[in-house]
Amino acid sequence: MSADKADELTRLSALRGRGIISAKGYESVKSQLLSGRHVEIAEEIEKLYGLLSDKTLTKKEFERAVSALMFPPNSKSSGARAPEAKFGSKFLVRLVVVVGGLYLLHLAINFNGDSTKFAAGNEAVTDAGTSTAGVQSNPVQNVQSEPVIPDQEARFVAINSEFRERYKASQNDLLKSTLVQERGKKLEAFSQDGSVSNWVGKVSKVDRVSGRWASLSVEVGEEIRIGSGGLLDNPDSMVNGILNQTAETLGSSERTKPEDGSFITADSSLYQTLLGLEVGQTIVFSGHFYPSDVSGLADTNLLEEPSMVSPAYKFRFEKIAPR
């Protein structure tokens, strides 16, 4: 398989991991790629998902459009979804034209401000004929769309998801060890400088550490967490080690720098942000990972299987924005 097709498959795997496409749809496209077809639909699905998030598309329209992309008329795996797939590209063109027209109409109506469908006027009449002049109706609330997941994060999730499934399916300990090394090599791409920007995740845990410190854990995919420190990290001894440039997380061969303390200090602005966070809340964040000679990126798990099945990568948060 060419690099372009492998990259397309990785992006589709990330979409499946996020629940945007079904496993059946993923397998259909995978089958097309393996059969030699040149398929590029991941970017189109992302655009359609953006329209769904903005409420420009309904869920039904989104599903029909995505189905048409993943199940072409000649696809053997289309099954029960084949009737939807028959619309093909012509359906997509019509859909884009109709959606675009509705969106422009929506903008025009909001701009004029005189449509009784979207905003009430200064005076309305009830069914009983009674005037309600002077009563102001509630304006239409703009629905805030979900933040878009960066391609870098999608690739990170796809790599972890792929190797988790391969590891769980293997009964060969030697193969499992090889998979750990393979995943580590792919994760090295994220540890060149360790920095990531505007990733999206859900808060899984906010903790106090030794009174003067705090830790944050964020879920970025199914059973994939990144966060501050680890069970064996003591912030006081860690700081001393960092100042002496000798800090190391047990079992990770982690390469640290003087500025690499991952816990959040009580006198920082990030600490104040943590006070307002709730478990399950979506946040946008930036920061950096810690490189590891063993696993590509430092993982706070001490055993191989938890590291592959439910990794918990050590991360230093530099910016956090609640959504």
Q: What are the pLDDT digits (tens) for 64-78?
A: 888 888 887 655 444
Is 135 within a domain?
Answer: no
Buried b (16+ CB within 10 A) or exposed e, 48-70: bbebbbeebbeeebbbbbbbbbb
> What local confidence, expressed as pLDDT, does residue 248 receive?
41
Q: How many angstroms separate the CA atoms of 277 and 204, rounded?
A: 10
Q: Which domain holds residue 36?
A: 3-112
| Statement to judge: residues 156 and 274 lie in one domain | yes
pLDDT band at 190 (very low <50, low <70, confident <90, very high): confident
Is 139 within a domain?
Answer: no
Tell if the pTM clears 0.75, that is, is over it: no
More confident residue, 209 or 301: 301
- Torsion angles phi and psi, residue 110, rounded to 5: -65, -35
Q: Which helix (H) or strand (E) holds 154?
A: helix 151-169
| Statement to judge: residues 88 and 163 lie in one domain | no
Q: Which helix (H) or strand (E) holds 282?
A: strand 282-289
CA dihedral of 164, 168, 173, 175, whole degrees rounded to 10: -60
> What local confidence, expressed as pLDDT, does residue 166 receive?
94
| Statement to judge: residues 206 and 265 lie in one domain | yes
Q: Mean per-residue pLDDT for 118-143?
A: 44
| Statement to judge: residues 303 and 196 lie in one domain | yes
Q: How many angstroms separate the CA atoms of 102 and 121, rounded?
A: 22
Residue 266's identity, in one-letter code, is A
How many domains does one find in the chain?
2
pLDDT tops 70 at residue 153: yes
Q: Which of 62, 95, 112 is the last residue of a domain?
A: 112
Mean pLDDT of all residues belonging to the chain:
75
Q: Which two tokens stand for residue 241?
A: 């080690």
Is 131 within a domain?
Answer: no
| Statement to judge: residues 209 and 312 lie in one domain | yes
Q: Mean per-residue pLDDT for 31-43?
A: 82
pLDDT tops 60 at residue 224: yes
More confident residue, 230 or 301: 301
CA–centroid distance for 184 within its chain? 21
Q: Which two tokens stand for residue 271?
A: 């600490």
| Statement to judge: residues 175 and 248 lie in one domain | yes
| Statement to judge: residues 192 and 315 lie in one domain | yes
Distances from the Cα of 278 to the Cαs of 144, 290, 320, in angstroms?
19, 26, 13
Q: In the chain, what percentage of residues exceed pLDDT 70?
A: 67
Is 123 within a domain?
Answer: no
| Statement to judge: residues 63 and 171 lie in one domain | no
Is 279 within a domain?
Answer: yes
| Statement to judge: residues 77 and 195 lie in one domain | no
| Statement to judge: residues 72 and 195 lie in one domain | no
| Statement to judge: residues 312 and 165 lie in one domain | yes
Distances from the Cα of 288 to the Cαs of 49, 226, 248, 318, in angstroms?
28, 10, 16, 8
> What local confidence, expressed as pLDDT, does residue 44 receive?
86
Is 88 within a domain?
Answer: yes
CA–centroid distance for 71 within its chain? 25
Q: Mean per-residue pLDDT for 273-285?
A: 95
pLDDT tops 50 at residue 206: yes
| Statement to judge: residues 93 and 158 lie in one domain | no
